[in-house]
Amino acid sequence: MGVEINDFCSLMELEAHGPDVYVGISPEYPWGRVYGGQVVAQALRAAATTVEENRLVHSLHAYFIRGGTSDEPIRYEVDRLRNGRSFSTRRVVARQSDGAILNLSCSFQIDEEQVNIQESSLPGDAGDPDDYESENWAPLLERRPTSLSSSGRAATWLKVHGPIPDDPILQACALAFASDDVPTEAVSTSHPKMAEIRDGWSGYAETFIGASLDHAIWFHRNARADDWQFHDFRSHGLNGGRGLSTGEIFTSDGLHVATVAQEALLRERTR
């Protein structure tokens, strides 16, 4: 049984178990496995613990190896690959008793005074979070799908339940936590059988076997993930039971915070 966790900061409180090894716990999720965004966020938190405070994460790349269980803690083993003058690189392997469940690489950079140009824009028809109804699957994440979602696209307002301290690493972990929600949904909208599903999550689970396969985030600018952020993802189609989606994350006032890419597994159930 998973433990009851109702605030994000408690989820990020990892316990040190020797040099560069940390252990985290999990709540239960409706689908039985540990939510992938949680494992990414905890792995990022473990990596950041080994990095100087003046270096902030700018990218991460993760492979989901197997589904984790909430019945036991997750062990995060950090490998300090390199400390350069401007960048620090880390690798994190998340393990449970059955073996590795996640392999993550991430890179941190000192804050440099360089040109800041934003080319992407918040869609003008994204609306306001208050325009939409909440559709939540866990107490830590508030989600409000928008009317922009359609075949090949999923667009949702998300925020992690706070308050979360004004700590760039914790806010980046919160964004990472939320970022695993919408990409798989975007991929599933490409499947023709989605139009036949009428009873939400239970109908989806009866029709498909789905999982995140790999996940990448590029962090462009600091922003609070315990405030509303707009996650706008588009599917690039399906092949061989796999689908790719890419998306952008904006604050409600239009700041482009991050870009995300994910490949997801989406198989039709045969029995």
> pLDDT of 223-256, one tens digit each?
999 999 999 999 999 999 999 999 999 999 999 9
Answer whether residue 184 shows pLDDT above 80. Answer: yes
Residue 112 confidence class, pLDDT cut points 50, 70, 90: very high
Across all residues in the chain, what is the average pLDDT? 93
Q: Residues near 110 by Cβ (< 8 Å), separated by ≥ 6?
A: 54, 55, 86, 87
Active site residue 134: no
Residue located via tokens 């909430």: 70
Q: Is the pLDDT of residue 138 over 90?
A: no
| Whether pLDDT at 56 is above 90 | yes
Q: According to the model, what pLDDT value does residue 31 have?
A: 82
Residue whose entry in the numeric block shows the structure tokens 């462009």: 220
The pair phi, psi for residue 13, each rounded to 5°, is -85, 90
Angle between helical axes of 36-48 and 168-178 (0-180°, round to 10) = 160
Average pLDDT of span 73-88? 98
Please give the pLDDT value at position 209. 77
Bond into 163 cis (ω within 30): yes
Active site residue 229: no
Higher pLDDT, 220 or 188: 220
Catalytic site residue from 88, 212, 229, 235: 212
Give the predicted TM-score (pTM) of the model: 0.94
The yes-or-no answer on residue 26 being catalytic is no
Q: List Cα–Cα distances, 222 to 89, 148, 167, in angstroms.
A: 19, 26, 10
- Using CA atoms, how far residue 207 sits from 163, 196, 200, 210, 268, in Å, is 37, 10, 11, 10, 6
Alpha helix segments (H runs only) across the chain: 8-11, 36-48, 168-178, 182-188, 200-207
The residue annotated as part of the active site, out of 180, 181, 226, 232, is: 180
Measure the N-to-C terminal CA separation of the chain; round to a whole number of Å.
27
Name the strands in the sheet holding 99-110, side by side, starting at the edge strand that comes first in the sequence.
15-16, 21-24, 74-83, 87-96, 99-110, 55-64, 208-219, 256-268, 242-251, 229-239, 153-160, 141-145
Q: Is the pLDDT of residue 2 over 80?
A: no
Burial class (CB in 10 A: 0-12, 13-18, 19+), 194: middle
The pLDDT-based confidence of 197 (bands split at 50, 70, 90) is: low
What pLDDT, on a 0 to 100 scale, did the predictor assign at position 30? 84
Burial class (CB in 10 A: 0-12, 13-18, 19+), 86: exposed
**Residue 92: predicted pLDDT:** 98
Domains, the chain, ordered by start: 8-110+133-268 (2.40.160.210)
pLDDT value at 55 more than 80: yes
The band of 139, judged by pLDDT with boundaries at 50, 70 and 90, is confident
